[in-house]
Amino acid sequence: MIALLALQPTETFHTMVSFFTKGGLFMWPLLLASIVTGTTIVLSALTLREKKVLPLVIESEIERLVPGGSAERLLRIVTDDQSSLARVVRVALHHLRWPRAENIESVQTRARRELVRLERGLIVLEVVTGIAPLIGLIGTVSGLVHVFSGLGLSSGASDTKGVALGISEALNCTIFGLSIAVPALISFSYFSKKVEVMSVEIESLVSDLIAKIYYGRVSREEMPASRSTVPAPARAPVA
């Protein structure tokens, strides 16, 4: 029983090697694509953790802040934090002397940069989803061309058997390409939705923060016109 269990991994490994070698030359770029896909999925899973993008301590401090209150404690918290939320909040707090509209514009610019940073690995998954089946199809067509080019060189049952074996081996490339594209597509859809949800959460928190820190302020546009700008009534002409 123990010897049988020990032989199973060896047989599985030999089966995988045989499957790979029979697929032809195009199995190598697919192998590279599978390695890149696996690495990207692992890195994206580590990078897009919610506690790393949206630290709970910053969320709690923004919710605790009262309208018109001091944001000194929040500034100390985000100063050394390298999360996406902290970087956007730092921009808002560093431009408190700016008018509200200009501060919001600077925050939006920084938020777009953070969104690009979060989506950095997703483009790889999107590309692999598109090219992996195509490479597999090219490999299969190449294998079929090779099979049918030798058709008729032999005769009888051996000819039919050789064609069937060649077609089955050529399809290995398509199977490998699809097996790479499917998890890449699933991962791309999942991480894209996760980035979208977290970006909305960042926007909501920062909007709440700006509303609180600008509470009670009156912009220059809202200031009433000074008395000096009111035209004086015309005097009656002197007789």
Do the domain assignments include residue 56?
yes
Q: What mean pLDDT, rounded, does the chain reach?
A: 82
Do the domain assignments include residue 123?
yes
C-alpha to C-alpha distance for 210 and 98, rounded to whole angstroms: 12
> How many other C-beta atoms are found inside a 10 Å radius of the C-beta of residue 53?
21
C-alpha to C-alpha distance for 79 and 58, rounded to whole angstroms: 11
Do the domain assignments include residue 227?
no
| pLDDT at position 80 | 86
- Give pLDDT tens digits for 32-61: 999 999 999 999 999 999 888 999 999 999
Do the domain assignments include residue 212?
yes
Do the domain assignments include residue 57?
yes
Do the domain assignments include residue 78?
yes
pLDDT at residue 221 is higher than 60:
no
CA-nearest of 62, 116, 131 to 92 is: 62
Total domains, the chain? 1
156: three-class secondary structure by DSSP: coil
Do the domain assignments include residue 228?
no
Containing structural domain, residue 90: 23-216
